[in-house]
Amino acid sequence: MKKIFFIIIIALFSTGKSFSQTKKENTVSDSQNVFSRPYDYVNDFEKILNPNQTASLTNTLKAFEKQFLYKITVVTTSTIQPYTSFPDYALELDKYLAKDPKLDPTILIVVSKELRQIQVQSIDLIRYKLSDNDTQSIITTYAVPEFKKGDYGKGLELAVEQIMSKLKTY
């Protein structure tokens, strides 16, 4: 009787581990948790724009989308965790936003003051209007000088204006 009781006790304690819950680790592929915030035209998660700059840029982007059907989305962020590179973060954010037709941007501009990075993602269909070289030139000529002065709102406004003027052509 003692042997049977002992075997039952051992069996109960040894199976306890298989029924216990373990915490799921966050993975890079789990973008739902990383990008689970609501998104609009201007998303200043890093808080580098003042309310007037955010409102002005939002109005500009809304009007442009209404007239030309190109949606430009701006996101500021202070961290790219769990990603290790800024381009990877921007690419995954673009993929995440593309899942929802209401959020899917034609152009996504991701900026980090803290990380001193900017990345522009665009759909392939507009490359004939706005090449990678055009984008690089716009960023270095219009955005970066203002960023260096600390005026991220003006830098983004100037860069967006130039991007919109390129998209209006043809």
| Residue spans per domain, the chain | 39-168
CATH code reported for the domain at 39-168: 3.10.310.50
| Amino acid 110: pLDDT | 97
Average model confidence (pLDDT) across the chain? 85
Give residue 41's identity as a one-letter amino acid code: Y
- Residues 6 or more apart whose CB falls under 8 angstroms from that of 115 comprise 78, 79, 80, 86
| Amino acid 127: pLDDT | 87
Query: What single DSSP character describes residue 79?
Result: -
pLDDT in tens, 25-36: 444 455 556 787
| Amino acid 4: pLDDT | 52
pLDDT in tens, 114-166: 999 999 999 988 888 999 999 999 999 999 999 999 999 999 999 999 999 99
| Amino acid 26: pLDDT | 43
| Amino acid 20: pLDDT | 40
pLDDT in tens, 50-101: 999 999 999 999 999 999 999 999 999 999 999 999 999 999 999 999 998 8
- Residues 6 or more apart whose CB falls under 8 angstroms from that of 4 comprise none
- Residues 6 or more apart whose CB falls under 8 angstroms from that of 44 comprise 54, 76
| Amino acid 82: pLDDT | 93
